Amino acid sequence: MSPLVLTLLLLGGLSEAAGRLLPLIARRPRTSRPQLIPLVLIGAVVEGAVFGLWPLIAWTLAGLMLTEPPPGVAAFTWTPDKAVPLLLAAILAFPLLGPLLHMLLLVAVGAGLVAPLAAATGLGWWAAAGCVAVAGLGLGLAVEVVRRLVVQVGALTGVREPAA
């Protein structure tokens, strides 16, 4: 992946992480900035990694559907022209224009991945769309499960914000 693509994915992850944390901050105005900055940065890296894995997992799923891999075709990854709509979707979804609109934006970005995946693998459009959708849903569910586990572990261990 080129440095430009990595930068675009990290910026999309930063926007996504900030959009997820803003409602929490609005409900807890006493949250201090030193606590917030590491959360946003860690969230940006995690969301950027999830975005980066999306086409790779879709490519892997498409490869599982084929009887033999297409000869001489490199792995399907982000390119700047594919990553820019993802960044735009993350920025438009910031700060929480609503979960439904955010989901529609990600569906639009996923739809943009379908045609190149279908062309690279030789699968039909619907099969490639299924691979992209399953990869996106799987990654989204995995991240959501980890988020909920982190919250539960924090609640069980009694991690609290210091009183100011």
* Range of the structural domain that residue 61 is part of: 3-157
Question: How many C-beta neighbours within 10 Å does residue 104 have?
Answer: 13
Instruction: Assess if residue 28 is contained within a domain.
Output: yes
Tell me the pLDDT of the chain averaged across its residues: 76
Instruction: Assess if residue 147 is contained within a domain.
Output: yes
Instruction: Assess if residue 75 is contained within a domain.
Output: yes
Give the number of domains in the chain: 1
Instruction: Assess if residue 163 is contained within a domain.
Output: no
Instruction: Assess if residue 164 is contained within a domain.
Output: no
Residue 130 has pLDDT above 90, yes or no: yes
Q: What is the predicted pLDDT for the residue at 155?
A: 67
Q: Is the CB of residue 92 less than 8 Å from the CB of residue 158?
A: no
Q: What is the predicted pLDDT for the residue at 164?
A: 47
Q: Is the CB of residue 16 less than 8 Å from the CB of residue 43?
A: yes
pLDDT, tens only, 3-61: 888 887 788 778 777 777 777 676 776 766 677 788 788 888 888 888 888 888 888 88
Instruction: Assess if residue 162 is contained within a domain.
Output: no
The amino acid that residue 89 corresponds to is: A
Q: What is the predicted pLDDT for the residue at 126?
A: 92
